[in-house]
Chains A and B, each alone.
Chain A
Amino acid sequence: MHADRHTVALLGNPNTGKSSLFTALTGTRQKIANFPGVTVEAKLGTAKFENSEITIIDLPGTYSLAARSPDERVATEALLGRVPGTPRPDGVIIVLDASNLERNLYLATQVLEFGLPAVIALTMLDVAQSRGITIDVETLGKQLNATVVPVNSPQGKGIDALKAALHRTLHHPGKALVVPFADEFNRSVDDLHGAVCDLSVKLGFKPARPEALRLLVDGAGPFFDECEQVGGAAFSGTLQKLRERAAAGRSLALMEAQARYGLIGGWVAQARTSDDEGKRTRTDKVDAVLTNKVWGTLIFIVLMLLVFQSIYAWAGPLMDGIEAGVGALGGLLLALVPNDMPMLHSLLKDGVIGGVGGVLVFLPQILILFLFIAILEDLGYMSRAAFLMDRVMAPLGLNGRSFIPLLSSFACAIPGIMGTRVIEDRNTRLTTIFLAPFMSCSARLPVYTLFIAAFVPEHGIGPFNLQGLVLFAMYWVGVLFAIPTALVLKRGILKSKITPFLMELPSYKMPRPKAVARVLVERGGAFIKRAGTIIFAVAIIVWALAWFPRDGAILDKHEAAIAASEGEVAERVATIAKDAGFAGDDAALAAAITDIQELTATHEEALAAAEKEFVDETELEAALEQRSAAFTAALLELKRRHGAAFEPAQAIYTARTEGDEAVAVIEKQRDGELLAGSFLGMAGHAIEPAVKPLGWDWRIGMAAIASFPAREVIIASLGTIFNLGGEEDEESESLRHVLVDAKDREGNPLFTLATALSIMVFFALCAQCAATLAIMRRETNSWKWPIASFVYMTSLAYMGALVTYQVASALGA
């Protein structure tokens, strides 16, 4: 049996529940549609109904098909099947918000003019009902000449009915809606349609009548540019003449809007009854607080603080868990490596486990950040934030629409930069793109958290602790530098008129746990994938750069030193045994040594366990004392048992322990010298003079070099560098402790608070993200902007870090 295949386009205003309807229809089988040249997002999914398969194209939410930018134009192109690689729709689903029927119907009248078979999905009926609005579904359907299906996607209601209606409708040809425009207007559209159809061959497609209508009314935009390119001045002249004829001195935009809203008014008067007049909705009541002068501002600030604070408070235990898990897994993995393979051992331990584990630890923080973003987004608070912040953006020459891309740049600059396509004005858009990387993205968060946790004391200041406040301040560093940057750009090379800022404030909705969970799974999964792929590869490459070329002379020198040290210990041991009157291989002596060794090891384990078990200091002290007493008693017992062999055995044990320690010191020196002689070390040394004034040494310098492709790599690099450098060899020690214990050449702590702040400021301002620069190139269509951004941000970062370090060290940090 042959399956029935169809394609339909899903259209509707923003904030109408279109996305959740799409998910309800298609489930998880979604992919991103490839729309060349534009970056608004469209998804493709498949809905199954009986034996038919319906491909659904979820087009970007829009209020109108009027197109002044390529992104607004793409909906029309997709509707007409002109986007390469995307199937041509046989029909449309138009989403209508029942609580906001008139404005939603405006787009519907435009779409219905195309004459495609259409089904209407009526959403938000519960919201409408709560406002006393009743809609006569049948009457509405008759007026629109289409089936109207009430749906409630979160509850899955009406989805099957919608599919059934779609199935029926797709087998009948649609009938184009006729909007009652003035006769002269209609004649002009027809004439213009004829004129653009004459350009068909040159355009490569036959324009539809609604496109001619748009051309007549808009008189500008991407379609106009296309026609003008092939039709030249003759076309522009015809259009101008027709526009004047149709308008007869009036505004064409007004004529269109009045005709459409007039038609809609008639429909709604019959299909809707409402006892809504003047009643305060729940959204009104909530908004009275959330956008209030005092409370709204306060809540906004507290909310933002809460987000940053909770990233610390809640993530801690989860991070410890991940750290322990990675450590345990790493231990198992390392046990599989034969002892005579030090290079492979190092690759696994320092490159793989250290690199990827060090990044995975930040998963909880990223999830918490997105938990907040997803909830606020779903709630409808994001547009209130834009409402509150527009006045702040306006003096910078930006608007509330810049706010949302910039806000999302706090998560990642890439979607932020892509989101600037909603900004109509080119110069405002370019400015927003240039500012996006200044916002502290989530990749910087691991850098901040690592250094803050390691070097900023946990003082309480009011209800907040110092660590949270420093994090908050780091987020503001970028913003503070972005402000003068915006001013200079908008006053200078990117001057433009103030652009429209009309924005719907959608009703508040309860966040849907499923939708929030989906966001978390998607983002968390993508982060893990990133840690598992590119960060993994970079960690391995950084390991290799830090391991090779492995100078043989250094190895030989230290091997000789180790051999000498071991020889010395053997000699000492022999002397002790001889002096006590034992043969070198005496069994009693060997047994005594083994017993002392075992006892000491057990004792050390017990001490470590106690340190973990007791948090309270007095309790810990008591426990340690008790264990030391037990150790002394056990030692006396050994002394009694082994008699004459005990004293020399203890001396031999001490000599061997000291010998091991001496060897460890030599090994650390060797590792340090090897790292200094490695490729990465050479690069670090080369730039040391430049980074010295920032309070950095060559190791931090080389970690910074390694993180230019992607800034979060610094975590993995630091882990690799400091473990390889032999600063600390205990696997259980987390990177944080390794950094605290790191020493400079003179043996002083390498990282002070001033160094940590200087590194954080550097990372806050530096353009260390190849992907962002690449997106910038694509969006601006020129290398000028990414190069300018890179040079500008890197110099700012350097100077910012320099000032931070000098000021902070002068203040004694």
Chain B
Amino acid sequence: MLEYAIVATVLVVAAVFAAWRVWRTLRVSQGKAQGHDCAKCPAAMKVE
């Protein structure tokens, strides 16, 4: 039972997190939230 509880918790947390990211991406795409943080992006190269 403990095993199921642990796995279920992990899955719920992962699913909620992923859903939150999708939601946020959509918000950013609609311009409602500050999107990609350029300074923190692994790949950003400053374009001056």
| Residue positions of A touching B, CB distance < 8 A | 14-15, 19, 30, 32, 34, 36-37, 41, 43, 60-61, 340-341, 343-344, 347, 366, 373, 377, 404-405, 407-408, 411-412, 414-415, 418-419, 422, 441-443, 522-524, 526-527, 529-530, 533-534, 536-538, 540-541, 544, 709, 770-771, 773-775, 777-778, 781, 786
Nearest chain B CB to A125's CB is how many angstroms away?
21
Which residues of chain B have C-beta atoms less than 8 A from A526's C-beta? 40-42
- A540 lies within 8 A of B25 (CB): no
Contact with A along B29-48 (1 / 0, CB 8 A): 11100111111111111111
- A442 lies within 8 A of B48 (CB): no
- A414 lies within 8 A of B47 (CB): no
Given known contacts A377-B45, A412-B41, is B36 in contact with A775 (CB within 8 Å)? yes
- A541 lies within 8 A of B18 (CB): yes
Q: Is the interface of B mostly helix, strand, loop or mixed?
A: helix
- A418 lies within 8 A of B36 (CB): yes
- B18 lies within 8 A of A778 (CB): no
Given known contacts A34-B34, A344-B3, A537-B17, is B44 in contact with A412 (CB within 8 Å)? yes
Given known contacts A347-B7, A775-B35, is B47 in contact with A770 (CB within 8 Å)? no
Which residues of chain A have C-beta atoms less than 8 A from B2's C-beta? 341
Which residues of chain A have C-beta atoms less than 8 A from B38's C-beta? 32, 41, 415, 418
Nearest chain A CB to B8's CB is how many angstroms away?
10
A672 vs B1: C-alpha distance when bound (angstroms): 26
Given known contacts A343-B7, A418-B38, A541-B14, is B29 in contact with A778 (CB within 8 Å)? yes
A347 vs B45: C-alpha distance when bound (angstroms): 36
Q: Which of A30, A536, A770 contacts B25 (CB 8 A)?
A: A770
Nearest chain B CB to A353's CB is how many angstroms away?
13
Q: Which of B34, B36, B43, B46 contacts A441 (CB 8 A)?
A: B43
A778 vs B21: C-alpha distance when bound (angstroms): 16
A61 vs B47: C-alpha distance when bound (angstroms): 10
- A537 lies within 8 A of B47 (CB): no
Nearest chain A CB to B1's CB is how many angstroms away?
11
- B45 lies within 8 A of A373 (CB): yes
10 contacts between A and B (CB under 8 A): A32-B34, A36-B31, A61-B48, A343-B3, A344-B7, A411-B45, A530-B42, A541-B14, A778-B31, A781-B31
Nearest chain B CB to A737's CB is how many angstroms away?
27
Nearest chain B CB to A387's CB is how many angstroms away?
15
- B26 lies within 8 A of A774 (CB): yes
A672 vs B10: C-alpha distance when bound (angstroms): 24
A34 vs B29: C-alpha distance when bound (angstroms): 16
Which residues of chain B have C-beta atoms less than 8 A from A523's C-beta? 41-44
A-B pairs, top 5 by smallest CB distance, nearest first, are A412-B43, A419-B47, A411-B43, A774-B29, A408-B45
Nearest chain B CB to A342's CB is how many angstroms away?
8
Give the nearest-CB partner of A772 in chain B. B36
A524 vs B3: C-alpha distance when bound (angstroms): 35
Q: Which of A408, A442, A522 contacts B47 (CB 8 A)?
A: A408
Nearest chain B CB to A416's CB is how many angstroms away?
8
Chain B 1-25 interface residues, beta-carbon cutoff 8 Å to A: 2-4, 6-7, 10-11, 13-15, 17-18, 21-22, 25
A412 vs B47: C-alpha distance when bound (angstroms): 13
Nearest chain A CB to B2's CB is how many angstroms away?
8
Q: Which of B25, B45, B48 contacts A415 (CB 8 A)?
A: B45
Given known contacts A344-B7, A770-B25, is B15 in contact with A415 (CB within 8 Å)? no
Q: Which of B21, B25, B30, B39 contacts A41 (CB 8 A)?
A: B39
Which residues of chain A have C-beta atoms less than 8 A from B35's C-beta? 774-775, 778
Which residues of chain B have C-beta atoms less than 8 A from A527's C-beta? 42
Given known contacts A61-B48, A347-B10, A405-B47, is B42 in contact with A412 (CB within 8 Å)? yes
A443 vs B43: C-alpha distance when bound (angstroms): 9
Which residues of chain A have C-beta atoms less than 8 A from B37's C-beta? 32
- B47 lies within 8 A of A341 (CB): no
- A540 lies within 8 A of B39 (CB): no
- B17 lies within 8 A of A14 (CB): no
Give the nearest-CB partner of B27 in chain A. A774
- A32 lies within 8 A of B39 (CB): yes
- A422 lies within 8 A of B18 (CB): no
Most chain B beta-carbon contacts within 10 A, residue among A343, A347, A541, A774: A774
Which residues of chain A have C-beta atoms less than 8 A from B17's C-beta? 533-534, 537
Nearest chain B CB to A421's CB is how many angstroms away?
9
Which residues of chain A have C-beta atoms less than 8 A from B18's C-beta? 534, 537-538, 541
Nearest chain B CB to A799's CB is how many angstroms away?
27
Which residues of chain A have C-beta atoms less than 8 A from B39's C-beta? 30, 32, 41, 43, 522
Nearest chain B CB to A720's CB is how many angstroms away?
13
Given known contacts A43-B39, A522-B40, is B22 in contact with A770 (CB within 8 Å)? yes
A786 vs B29: C-alpha distance when bound (angstroms): 10
